[in-house]
Amino acid sequence: MWRDHLTEIIVFSLLFLLVSVMGFVAARWRAPKDMAHLDEWGLGGRNFGGWITWFLVGGDLYTAYTFVAVPALMFGAGAAGFFAVPYTIVVYPLVFLVLIRLWSVSHRHGFVTPADFVRTRFDSPVLALLVAITGIVATMPYIALQLVGIEAVLKTMGVTGESTLARHLPIIIAFAILAAYTYQSGLRAPALIAFVKDSLIYVVILVAVIYLPYKLGGWGDIFDAADAKFQASPNPNDGVLLNGNNQLQYVTLAFGSALALFLYPHSITGVLASRNRNVIKRNMSALPAYSLLLGLIALLGYMAIAAGVKPLPGASAGSVDNNTIVPLLFDQQFPDWFAGVAYAAIGIGALVPAAIMSIAAANLFTRNIYKEYLKRDASPAQEANVSKITSLVVKVGAVACIVFLDPQFSIDLQLIGGVIILQTLPAVALGLYTRWFHRTALVVGWVAGMGLGMWMLYQVASPTRKHFGGSAFPLEKFGFDTPKTIYVGIVAVLVNLAVAALLTLVLRAAKADEGVDGTVGDDYFADEGDPRVTPGTERDADSAREPVA
């Protein structure tokens, strides 16, 4: 009953109200003379310095996925859920130079989305359209994951009902508020709120990892309890250590997730909002500090086992909702007021990335579908208005994802999105370094990789779904006599690359038209104040500027 959680509800509501007010106020924070421009509404004026970028990108990447989905997987499957830690460690060296080049060429030409870059680099509106659609589709389940995190908190506080409408109504209300201040303030809203979000998360986790082990008898007892649970599990792959059957899945999942992370349009949006190349360099060097936090958060799954937490019932009869284990852990082990703070950290930790994701998806639609195919002469003000409206539609689509997709682990939503977004790697990431691939070959490679990826995902079952139940593909379905599984995204993108490479050789031999590269070599090294920046991409000099950190 919600009356048993009244203190938690009050604390949660007050903090939620605080960030909502901040979201609306953000429209006046560092405001330019004119917000009716995608550079302002969608990229915050391309003028964020070191500290703002740190909180924005960190708030963008470390989300309800971190606080809810990873511990839930640790709780349910054990060591396999720890893949999120190595992938967030290796990703930053992988993308350090890639993102700098992307920022420079985008700054020089005024690109707002990765599809803008692909359109100019390969002279292919079709390829750019595919990249845009891929980004939008991949973002939907990722936003839905944020909804799952908020819903887990609301369910723990007893404010959701049994019917479909009653269960999702609080989520709809929360996202209506999010939609309103995102519509008004654009990227400035999540950038400002990210300060509160990250501060709350750091406080909650530091208290939790010090207090909970003490209360539960120490780390030895925690790991012993987790080991005892997994020893009794009917699934031989569950355990505090990996075994021969799930090591391949673990490695490919970690590496594939690392490759996918900064291909997401919301990740790129945070980077393109940075002031200069040095801001990105410093952030790529410092952001791995969040990986330590992620490792500590993941261990909450084992702490929940040691504390005897029992997940709340799931949406279908006889199922359980593993996504509720962290909120339940805080509810059982902490005073009500602190549990309310923890719930607010999870809820706000979902709102910040959801806002950025909806903005990024809206920018893709506006620049690469609306302007390219529906209204080529759209003014900057019209572009901004279309993005605002589209960001609302994207949120509705995310709500549909959570209603119609009921994964066993909410992390499956993100992993399915990763399979999809990985298919843009040849055109976006490799395209920053080489134009060797033929534009037609990249289109065909995308079709091959996406088609195979969707077929493989369709074959993956879970206890709650016959299809699209996860991203671990059984190799026995390829005819191998083995119980091992592999991450779908790795297989799909390798097929994508192979098809693109082979067809490029054929098309080059046939001397097929390759189009004109709209970029030049030094575009990829441009920095703040470059005299050859496309007019309109340098913001008004009267705009407030943050001191470089």
pLDDT > 90: percent of the chain: 46
Report CA-CA distances (Å) from 462 to 41, 100, 406, 471.
41, 40, 10, 10
Q: What pLDDT, on the 0 to 100 scale, is given for residue 162?
A: 61
CATH code where residue 335 lies:
1.20.1730.10
Write down the residue that tokens 């997940």 correspond to.
311
Q: What pLDDT, on the 0 to 100 scale, is given for residue 380?
A: 87
Q: What pLDDT, on the 0 to 100 scale, is given for residue 537?
A: 47
Q: Is residue 525 part of a domain?
A: no
Is 545's pLDDT higher than 60? no
Q: Is residue 71 part of a domain?
A: yes
Tell me what the pLDDT averaged over the chain comes to: 86
pLDDT > 70: percent of the chain: 90
Confidence of residue 307 (pLDDT cuts 50, 70, 90): very high
Is 381's pLDDT higher than 50? yes
Mean pLDDT comparison of 160-169, 358-367, 452-461, 491-500, highest-scoring range: 491-500
Q: What is the CA radius of gyration of the chain?
A: 23
Confidence of residue 236 (pLDDT cuts 50, 70, 90): confident
Q: What pLDDT, on the 0 to 100 scale, is given for residue 306?
A: 95
Contact call for residues 168 and 151 (beta carbons, < 8 A): yes
The single-letter code of the amino acid at 504 is T
Write down the residue that tokens 């200069």 correspond to.
276
Q: What is the mean pLDDT of residues 81-102?
A: 90
Q: Is residue 178 part of a domain?
A: yes
Q: What is the mean pLDDT of residues 129-158?
A: 87
Confidence of residue 224 (pLDDT cuts 50, 70, 90): very high
Q: What pLDDT, on the 0 to 100 scale, is given for residue 1?
A: 60
Is 209's pLDDT higher than 70? yes
Q: What pLDDT, on the 0 to 100 scale, is given for residue 161?
A: 60
Which helix H or strand E contains 93, and what residues bound it?
helix 84-109
Confidence of residue 507 (pLDDT cuts 50, 70, 90): very high
Chain CA centroid to CA 116, Å: 20
Rounded to 10 degrees, the C-alpha dihedral 369/371/372/374 comes to 80
Which helix H or strand E contains 312, and what residues bound it?
strand 312-313
Query: How far is Cα 243 from Cα 254, in angstroms, rounded to an integer?
Result: 16
How many domains, in total, are found in the chain?
A: 1
- Answer with the residue of higher pLDDT: 545 or 210: 210
- Answer with the residue of higher pLDDT: 32 or 512: 512
Q: What is the pLDDT of residues 241-293, one digit of tens each?
A: 998 888 999 999 999 999 998 999 999 998 999 999 999 999 888 888 888 88
Residue 125 domain boundaries? 2-26+59-411
Contact call for residues 321 and 155 (beta carbons, < 8 A): yes
Q: What pLDDT, on the 0 to 100 scale, is given for residue 411?
A: 67
Q: What pLDDT, on the 0 to 100 scale, is given for residue 541?
A: 36
Q: What is the mean pLDDT of residues 27-34?
A: 74
Q: Is residue 440 part of a domain?
A: no
Q: What is the pLDDT of residues 390-402, one digit of tens each?
A: 988 887 777 766 6
Measured at the CA of 172, the angle between CA 365 and CA 406, to 5 degrees, comes to 85
- Answer with the residue of higher pLDDT: 4 or 522: 522
Q: Is residue 438 part of a domain?
A: no
Contact call for residues 117 and 101 (beta carbons, < 8 A): no
Q: Is residue 446 part of a domain?
A: no
In 143-301, the DSSP E strands lie at none
Chain CA centroid to CA 239, Å: 27
Q: Is residue 476 part of a domain?
A: no
Q: What is the mean pLDDT of residues 484-504?
A: 96
Confidence of residue 167 (pLDDT cuts 50, 70, 90): low
Q: What is the pLDDT of residues 515-544, one digit of tens each?
A: 999 999 899 999 887 777 754 444 443 333
Q: What is the pLDDT of residues 324-344, one digit of tens each?
A: 999 999 999 999 999 999 999
Q: What is the pLDDT of residues 424-459, one digit of tens each?
A: 999 999 999 999 999 999 999 999 999 999 999 988
Q: What pLDDT, on the 0 to 100 scale, is given for residue 464?
A: 67
- Give the count of beta carbons closer than 10 Å to the beta carbon of residue 477: 12
- Answer with the residue of higher pLDDT: 177 or 78: 78
The single-letter code of the amino acid at 223 is F
Q: Which two tokens stand for residue 290?
A: 């969040």
Closest alpha carbon to 380 in 489, 526, 534 = 534
Q: What is the mean pLDDT of residues 94-99?
A: 90
Contact call for residues 408 and 174 (beta carbons, < 8 A): no
Q: Is residue 381 part of a domain?
A: yes
Is 547's pLDDT higher than 60? no
Q: What pLDDT, on the 0 to 100 scale, is given for residue 38?
A: 86
Q: What pLDDT, on the 0 to 100 scale, is given for residue 353?
A: 86
Query: How far is Cα 152 from Cα 165, in angstroms, rounded to an integer?
Result: 16
Q: What is the mean pLDDT of residues 63-77?
A: 84
Closest alpha carbon to 205 in 84, 303, 332 = 303
Contact call for residues 142 and 421 (beta carbons, < 8 A): no
Q: What is the mean pLDDT of residues 186-194?
A: 88
Confidence of residue 3 (pLDDT cuts 50, 70, 90): confident
pTM score above 0.75? yes
Q: What pLDDT, on the 0 to 100 scale, is given for residue 470?
A: 78
